[in-house]
Structure 1
Amino acid sequence: MKWTAALRAVKQKLATARPEQKAKRMQPNPTLRANTGAYRGRMLLAGAMSAIIFVGGAFGMLRHIHRSDAMLQVYQNGHYIGLVPNDHDIYTRMQRVAAGYNIALQAFPIHTDVSTTYPWQKVASLPTAAAAIEVNHRPLLYTTSVHDANRVLQRVKQSLTANVQQGQQKTVSFVEHVGIRAETVGVKNILEPDDAVDLLLHPAKQNQIAGRATSPSAQLLQQNTNQAKFAQKPLLSVRSQVTVTETKSCPYHVKYVNDASLAKGSEKVVAKGKMGTKKETVRQTYINGQQTAADVLSSVTLAKPVDEIVERGTNPGIEDGDWIWPTDIHTITSPFGWRFGGAEFHPGMDIGVPTGTPIHATNNGTVISAGWNSGGYGNWVEIDNGNGITTVFGHMSHVEVHSGELVSKGQLIGESGSTGDATGPHLHYEVRLNGTPVQPMNYV
């Protein structure tokens, strides 16, 4: 590592060495000058290594700065270097680096809180080699090395493609222009790989990661403070494309055929439809695990669908299954069936209404007879409602329709009265199925 600022500090210390050392260096003895030069080189290397070791420990120090009270005072050859958290991993790392340069470190634990005025900034701002993860050529965050930056981006891709369907071919890339560049930045701006992954996936955790106050990602979040959803989304977007082959169902079509023998509005299925099947090769596109497109690359029909055939009624003169009352008054004065102790059979039902009450067709149909009936019904209307059903309206005072006329449900066909064999004004309503009188209450 190249610690530019640290080396300058070491050189400045050497330039202000003790007077006796400076005087010795001024003596003209060549051997002494050679020894002094060697000594100066060793001191320069030792001083540089001390700075390197201490700053190397700062990586871990920053991760523990808010959660460690027990500290270590670190010395090199009796000279105080600084404070680090009393953490085994941190101290082991420092000793391992020091041993590689034959430098002896001494550490003495102190059990007190670190003063709030301790100059952490001087340590945290020391420049060190790092790697910037960039978006559109602008740094987003810094991590420990180019190798770690590649690992961070790979883990982000894996996390944002976990829900993507597997297929024959799969390509994964960032939507943005993402790059990696070697940088030299202050230690406080460098994230460990795990923290870098966490920040890229969950930017809302920005304030939970130490040392990020002036990082590029912090600035990016500050610029989007008015966008509430921004902090909920990953800082990077991953596009995945996968090619899959699927067998799918093909829907059948419904064909309608007009049928004059069916009541208007009614339908009858005469041939059921059957689904077909096809094999499709589809390229599916996902953004952060959510499918955004599906493009069919090829399609092969395995079985053709079979159309469903439905007959649709067009005859307005045939009943549609729903019946209504012929009058607004529903008072029955004589029901259907035997009466007078079984001496007489009543083929319909009498509805008590005053003369002149409007009478309506109880369903669609065709008028068979309209006018006077000599069989005791007086003025009547007989309607063929289709499907073997006939309706009869008797004792009317006035008839509004004629034979052969198509009538619709609810249409006015006449007015009530007391014509024919009637003892008073009423409507005789009768229903016949294939010529036989049946219970009329089932047809109102």
Structure 2
Amino acid sequence: MGKLTEMLYDRRRHIGTASQARSKKEWMQEKTAAFIRAAKSEIRKTFNFRNSIAALAVLALTSVGVYTAHDKVASASPVYKVYIDGEYTGVVRDQSLLQEQMKSYGSLLKAHVAFAPVHQAVKGTNDWTVANAISESTKTMVDMVVVRVNGQDIVHVKDKETAEKLIKTLESQYVKADSNATVKLSEQVDFVPLRGDKQTLVSFDAALALVQQGKNERKTYVVSRGDSLWDIASKNNLSVEDLHAANPEIADIDELSEGQQINLVAVEPLISVDSTTEETRELTTNYEIEYKDDDSLDVGTEKIVQDGQEGKKTQNLRITRHNGNVTKEEVLSEQVTVEPVKEIISKGTHKQTYSSYSGGSAAPVSGSWAYPIGGGYISSQYGENRGGKPHLALDIAAATGTPVYASNNGTVIQAADLGDGYGNCIRISHSNGVVTIYGHLSSMNVSVGQAVQKGQRIGGVGSTGQSTGSHLHYEVRVNGVHVNPAPYM
């Protein structure tokens, strides 16, 4: 069977121009005669009738196929077999497109690509496969490691040591080397060895920047004089919340400085570091303030009987951080090391008797000092705790425009808003280094250098500057030191 087939194919290959010129009838007669001779020979060899019949059937089909192939070859369009470095790769129909591709690679293409035209009927070509094989031949393949995060390939580095250094450097930016912290990555990170194109390798610094900042483009803004977080957010079409999230290191959003660089886009690292540490810290504790009625003091006056002192305590904590930012604090133990001392203040309950007061241009006078306002009530005492700091003045709440008077004879040394939180403020210098201060005024009726008399109207109550309501901020300093204003009223 095999020899007969080879014989037929050998004869097909040697058919030349002469056989093409013959008529189809002559060609078929010759083939039929050859077929019959081969069949008889096969039958004599095998002496197997069933096998011989099968062989005859196959040979008959083969003969028809040979003739048909011979007829089609003459009319088929040429296609090209492609060999890359001598190895057969596939068949393409249009070599010009591949040649343009090869030209675009320039010196990167180091493989030898050959095209061999052939005439054959094909059902399909391997154009894409061949183009891809040529592209692959331009690559310089090297061993490398890909850093894979949650199953996604992120960056290619040269080896496992570089990948490990990348993670250790990332962790060290949030956790000190000598810390007792427990450290873990938020994501599943794997180092996968592979062989890939050298051009995909990334330097250590570039890989570190990528895993730290993610794929967001870093955008910054330089703070100008007078800028607030709200101004910057408005200029850049952001919400204040987004802007603050992009700059978690800014503890006080109101304290921006000129020239400071802030982020406009929140950093979204591809690899995050979680850490847990046990730490010890010392805290100060506020003291209590106790008021005691004292009929020996006039109403509105106070006297500190015992100064308050802050206490101290030590805490042992377990602190959890995400990329350096505290996400949870757990107090494990607490110990008071210094007990706070209560501040005791005597509060006057004796009602004053005024010698003259009409509620107009003259203030009520007590002793040698005049009461600085024509009405209202004391809303905040001298020495009162204000967020851990004592209030070094008296606040007297009253309606806006309520008259404010000079407490004694003196000279006006300020009548303006200096931007220091006092708002519209008048300062009067008296004898013996005493200065009285009248803050948050709605109006001012005197000017700097003007001499004023005790009880003279100098302005009206207001809520300018750092104020939450209409009141008079009355403050007294002696030689620059704050003192209780009560004796100067």
Instruction: Please confirm whether the aligned pair reaches a TM-score higher than 0.5, indicating the same fold.
Output: no
TM superposition score normalised by structure 1: 0.39
